[in-house]
Structure formats: C-alpha cells, structure tokens
C-alpha cells in the first residue's frame, strides 16, 4: 500500500547506490513507499528495472542510473545532472559495496584488493565530493553510508573488505564532523 504524496518523505529526492538488489533495493522501495522520488544507481540494468516496477506498483517514482560507482567521472556527471534536474538532494544512501575475496592478505590479488577499495571507499568519497553541494541545498539533507561491524575486528581472511570498511568509517566520521 502506498502512502504516496502523504508519506514521510513526500517531495524528497533520495539517491541509493547498490540499488538493484539486497539492502539497497529494500531501502529504495521503502523510501519510495514513503513518497520519495528515488534515484537508483547500480550496474545491473535488469535489477534496476525490476525495482522500478515494484516502486511503480506502490505509486512511487524513480530515475534509473545504470552506473558502476567506481566510475569517478560518471559520479561527477551524475552530480551535475542532478543539479540540473532537481537542484538539490535530500538523501544519499551509499550502499554499493563488494566483498572481494576471503583469503590471507598475502594471497589477495592486487587487482582484487584495489577493486574492493575502489568500490567500498573511493566511490563513497567521490559521492561525497560530487553530491555534498546538493545535500547542502536541501533543508534537511542526510548522507547515510553502509559499513560493517567487521571494520572494528581483526578477523582472518577479511582483510580487504574489513580495511575498506574501517577506512569508510573514518572517512564518514570526518565528513560528519566537517558538516556539523
């Protein structure tokens, strides 16, 4: 059942990365059910289209953005396009992430380690860099980043993922302190 324009997020614009499945899709659907227009970012076009169908079925609306979050210039173009179309952003949910491989640190391929850092850390810095001006134009801008408890534990074989999420925790903490 849709709350449509009467929802708690009526008139708000929410961007969700990793929106094609899992937590990102569930959160985007919840935002749309509460009246937000959702900007859905993911690599998987089919997943975005399936989510768009669900959002329409609850009376919501979405803009689909097939984009790999590790495409830094693409993130910059997204920020510019959102400025042109909406002039602001009310919610940023940085959810996209990759696990990489669970392996002893010395066995992780450099390309895999770099991909995990690019998706889980660098992409979120690019999102902040590109979208912070839009969040500041909102009367109640919010940035939310999905991290993991593994970031605060030294668990064997989780090196790349845990390190990327620990770095994300610090990055987001610094961002929060800067905008407080």
CA distances from 39 to 30, 86, 87, 159 (A): 13, 11, 14, 32
Mean pLDDT, the chain, whole residue set? 96
Model pLDDT, residue 5: 60
Q: What is the mean pLDDT of residues 24-32?
A: 98
Q: What is the mean pLDDT of residues 42-55?
A: 98
pTM of the full structure? 0.94
Q: What is the mean pLDDT of residues 123-142?
A: 98
Q: Choose, from 31, 157, 161, 175, the residue flagged as catalytic.
A: 161
The DSSP 8-state label assigned to residue 138 in this structure reads: S
Helix-, strand-, coil-residue percentages of the chain, each rounded to 5: 55, 15, 30
Model pLDDT, residue 6: 76
Q: Which helix (H) or strand (E) holds 89?
A: none
pLDDT tens for 71-92 read 999 999 999 999 999 999 999 9
pLDDT score of 135 more than 60? yes
Q: What is the mean pLDDT of residues 131-150?
A: 97
> Is residue 39 very low, low, confident or very high in pLDDT (cuts 50, 70, 90)?
very high
Is 161 part of the annotated catalytic residue set?
yes
Burial 134-169 (b: 16+ CB within 10 A, else e): bbeebeebebebbbbeebeeeeeebbbbbbbbbbbe
> Is residue 2 very low, low, confident or very high in pLDDT (cuts 50, 70, 90)?
very low
Q: What is the mean pLDDT of residues 149-155?
A: 94
Model pLDDT, residue 26: 98
């Amino acid at each position: 059942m849709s709350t449509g324009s009467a929802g708690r997020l009526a008139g708000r614009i929410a961007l969700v990365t990793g929106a094609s499945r899992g937590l990102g899709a569930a959160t985007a659907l919840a935002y749309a059910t509460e009246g937000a227009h959702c900007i859905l970012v993911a690599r998987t076009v089919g997943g975005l289209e399936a989510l768009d169908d669900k959002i329409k079925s609850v009376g919501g609306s979405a803009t689909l953005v097939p984009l790999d979050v590790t495409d830094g210039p693409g993130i910059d173009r997204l920020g510019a396009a959102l400025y042109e179309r909406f002039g602001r952003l009310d919610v940023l949910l940085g959810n996209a992430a990759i696990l990489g491989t669970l392996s002893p640190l010395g066995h992780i391929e450099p390309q895999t380690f770099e991909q995990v850092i690019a998706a889980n850390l660098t992409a979120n810095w690019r999102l902040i860099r590109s979208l912070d001006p839009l969040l500041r134009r909102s009367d109640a801008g919010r940035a939310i980043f999905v991290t993991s408890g593994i970031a605060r534990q030294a668990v064997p074989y989780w090196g790349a993922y845990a390190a990327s999420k620990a770095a994300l925790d610090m990055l987001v903490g610094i961002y929060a302190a800067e905008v407080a």
